[in-house]
Amino acid sequence: MKRRHFLSSALAAAPFVKAQSKTSLQGTTIGHGDHRYQVDLEWSKAKRETHPVKNCHEMVMDDQKRLIMITDESKNNVLIFDKDGTVLDAWTLNLKSGHGLSLAVRSGLEHLLICDPGSGSVLMTTLKGEIVLKLPNPKECGAYDAASKYAPTEAAQAPNGDIYVADGYGSQFILQFDETGKFIRKFGGISTQALNAGKFMQAHGVTLDLRGSVPLVLCTERIRNEFHWYRLDGTYSHSVYLPGAYMSRPVIQGDLLLSGVCFGMKPNDYRMWRERGFIIILDKNNRVISAPGGQQPKYEGNQVSLLLQDQPIFRNVHDVCSDDVGDLYACQWSADSVYPYKLRRV
């Protein structure tokens, strides 16, 4: 399949598509093969008057099996749910663009890595919201010049404590810091070319892929529909191309790689890009084996065919979280401030 790509500026000009009614979709079974799920659109028991949300950007599960979610609602940046959808706790750092959320370890205890692209902040906090580390702005530590834009969208911790930051709404670098916040290096960087391995049009997400014998840094190149892998020193390793799938962040769960697809779109079909979200699930060989809410994945040799939405369960999936029994939780962007949906594995 020939690749065709376009710049993110084209997306900004795309029209909004009116939302479809979801009432009849409650209880729908979606997905493929061994990864099929029953949709619960009403999982969250949060009350809007006490726990409002704008965009539900990302979610993780901690060791206590609590589901921790970040939103860009400054009244409560973080909501903590149990698996039945009850709100257990909520707190805020007064961030107006809370976006990235991942788990980290500090002094043997679980912490959170939070990214706020609007303020250019990457923070490590306790699970109660106490800030224990703030990474320096790249302009302060010599990584960027004064004219470079910095708007971090995701951060992830390596086994040795190093922190990798994806500057997905800024200058498209992955920045590496040590556990104390000292800058080590940057790699990647911006590219407007369709084929430019290891560089980004949008470095939206980052995680550590520990499934192989050697740990790798795994990043999403959303605009070019690719996953990129790097060695820990920033050396480019390889990529996987998933045509049509504008992925958010990569999520490793056991041997699987999951991602929320913000929207699926045919090449250059700018008219119909919003409200086309779904989820993708890849096996340990990085082949798509299920696409809940999307069309059944098909391969031509080693290349998956165009990935598009099949059922209008979702509008724009910004993240997917898997719990300890394999149920999924879908967070959405630009979806009328809906709370996460739960997908119960069947």
Q: pLDDT band for position 21 (50/70/90)?
A: very low
Q: What is the pLDDT of residues 306-346, one digit of tens each?
A: 999 999 999 999 999 999 999 999 999 999 999 999 999 99
- pLDDT for the residue 140: 96
Average pLDDT for the chain: 92
Is beta strand 56-61 parallel, antiparallel or unpaired with respect to 251-253? Answer: unpaired
In angstroms, how far is the first alpha carbon of the chain from the final one?
A: 33
33 Cβ contact partners less than 8 Å away, ≥ 6 residues apart? 289, 290
| Sign (positive or negative) of CA dihedral 191, 141, 233, 152 | negative
Of the candidate ranges 150-164, 198-212, 263-277, the one whose mean pLDDT is the lowest: 263-277
Residue percentage of the chain with pLDDT more than 70: 92
- What type of residue is 167? D
The pLDDT score that the predictor gives to residue 63 is 98
| Residue 18 pLDDT | 38
Q: In what order do the strands lie in the sheet with 56-61?
A: 56-61, 67-71, 78-81, 87-91
Nearest to 335 by CA among 276, 247, 248, 292: 276
What pLDDT does residue 4 have?
Answer: 39
Query: How much of the chain exceeds pLDDT 90, in percent?
Result: 88
Query: What is the per-residue pLDDT across 78-136, written as a single tens digit (0 to 9) for each?
Result: 999 999 999 999 999 999 999 999 999 999 999 999 999 999 999 999 999 999 999 99
- Tens-place pLDDT, residues 26-63: 999 999 999 999 999 999 999 999 999 999 999 999 99
Q: Which residue has the tokens 């992830």?
A: 156
Residue 6: its pLDDT value, please? 36
Min mean pLDDT across 164-168, 195-199, 241-245 is at 195-199
Mean pLDDT computed over 275-297: 97
pLDDT at 9: 38
